[in-house]
Amino acid sequence: MTRLIARRLLVSGLLVGVVSLLTFLLQAAAPGDTARTILGDHYSPAAYARLHRELGLDEPVLTRYGHWLAHALRGDLGTSPVSGLDVTAQIASRLPVTLSLTVGATAATALAGVALGVLSAVRGGRLGRAFDVLALAGYALPNFWLALVLVTLFAVTFPLFPATGYVPLEDDPGGWARGLVLPVTTLALPGTAVFAKQTRDAMLAALSRDFVTALRANGASERSIVLRHALRNAGVPVVTLVGLTFIGLLSGTVFVEAVFAMPGLGGLAVQATGQHDVPTIQGVVIVFTLAVVTVNLAADLAYGWLDPKVRSA
C-alpha cells in the first residue's frame, strides 16, 4: 500500500507539472495578450510596446513559464497584472464557495444514490426498472433548465431559499446552508439516479456471489448480508463513481456559480481567461488539478480499505 501511494504521488507531481505547462502554452497561443487587455481598445503602438516589455511578454514562452514555475514552487502564484490583486488571496477567498458546492453535491449524490441503489437491488422488480428510466432522464436533464425550474419554484413561487448569493459559513451557518440548497440540488439531482443505477448493478453482482448464499445458509440476517457484506464488496465501483462525480462536478460549478451569482473559482477562471490573466489562470488550474489528485489518492486509500489485495500491492 505504501508503494502504491508513493507511485501515485510521483505520478501526481508529474501530472501537475504537465497540466501547468500545457495551460501556459495554450494561453500563450490564444489570440490577444494581457497588454492589449490592460490598454483597452485605443492605445498607441509605443504604449503597447512599452507595456508588452514591462510585462515580460517579449520573452520566449518557455522562459516566462520557467519564471512562473520558480515562483510557484516557493508558494508564490504571483499577482494579477490586470487587477493588481494577489492570486493566492483571490483563490483563497473564492475556494470555499467552489468546495462547498462540489463537496456538498458529491455527498448528496453519493448518499442518495447509494440508498436508492441498495433499495432497488433488494426490492427489485418495478423499482429497478423505474431507476433505469430515471437514470436516462438524469443524463438528459439540462442543468440550466433544472436550475431555472428550481429557482422559479423554491425562490419565487415559494420563497423558501435564496435564488442568488453566497453567505460564508463562519458568518451565518444557517444562511450558508440555505444558500447552497438550490445550487447543490441542481448539481446533484441529474447524477443521483445514475449513481443509484450503478450502485444497484454492483449490489446485484455482490448478492449473487457464493459467499452470500453461504451466509444465508448459516442463518445470517438479510440486513447484515446487505449492509455488512454485499455493500462492502460493491464498494469499489461505487468509490470509483464518487471520485468521477467529484471531478465532473468541478467543471459543473462554473455554470452553477454563474446562474446563482456565487463568487467561486469557476467565475474567476472565466474572467481571467477573457482578460489573458495568465497568473490567475495558472493558479486556478493548479488548484483544480490538486483537487483531482487529492480525490484520486483518497479513492486509492478507500480501495485499500475495501479490498485487502490492494493493500498488499
What CA–CA distance (Å, rounded) separates 177 from 276? 35
Q: What is the pLDDT of residues 144-168, one digit of tens each?
A: 888 889 999 999 999 999 988 899 9
- What average pLDDT is seen over the chain? 84
Q: Is residue 313 pLDDT above 60, yes or no?
A: no
Domain count of the fold of the chain: 2
What CA–CA distance (Å, rounded) separates 134 from 139? 9
Judge if 16 and 107 occupy the same domain: no
Q: How confident is the model at residue 88 (pLDDT cuts 50, 70, 90)?
A: very high
Torsion of CA 136, 137, 138, 139, to 10 degrees: 60
| Rounded percentage of the chain residues whose pLDDT exceeds 90 | 26
- For residue 66, what pLDDT is reported? 92
86 bridge partner residues: 79
Judge if 42 and 149 occupy the same domain: no
Q: Is residue 120 pLDDT above 60, yes or no?
A: yes
Q: How confident is the model at residue 1 (pLDDT cuts 50, 70, 90)?
A: low
Q: What is the pLDDT of residues 47-58, one digit of tens each?
A: 888 888 888 888
Judge if 116 and 226 occupy the same domain: yes
Q: Is residue 310 pLDDT above 60, yes or no?
A: no
Q: How confident is the model at residue 224 (pLDDT cuts 50, 70, 90)?
A: confident
Q: Is residue 63 pLDDT above 60, yes or no?
A: yes
Identify the residue whose cell numbers are 508503494. 3
Position 158 in a domain: yes
Query: Domain holding 274: CATH number?
Result: 1.10.3720.10
- List all residues 6 or more positions away from 239 whose beta carbon is below 8 Å from its beta carbon: 299, 302, 303, 306
* Structural contact between residues 94 and 269, judged by C-beta atoms closer than 8 angstroms: no
Q: Is residue 198 pLDDT above 90, yes or no?
A: no
Sign of torsion over alpha carbons 300, 105, 166, 256:
positive
Judge if 54 and 103 occupy the same domain: no
- The answer to whether the predicted template modeling score (pTM) of the entire model surpasses 0.85 is no
Position 8 in a domain: yes
Domain with 270, as residue range(s), is 88-311
- For residue 146, what pLDDT is reported? 86
Judge if 149 and 188 occupy the same domain: yes
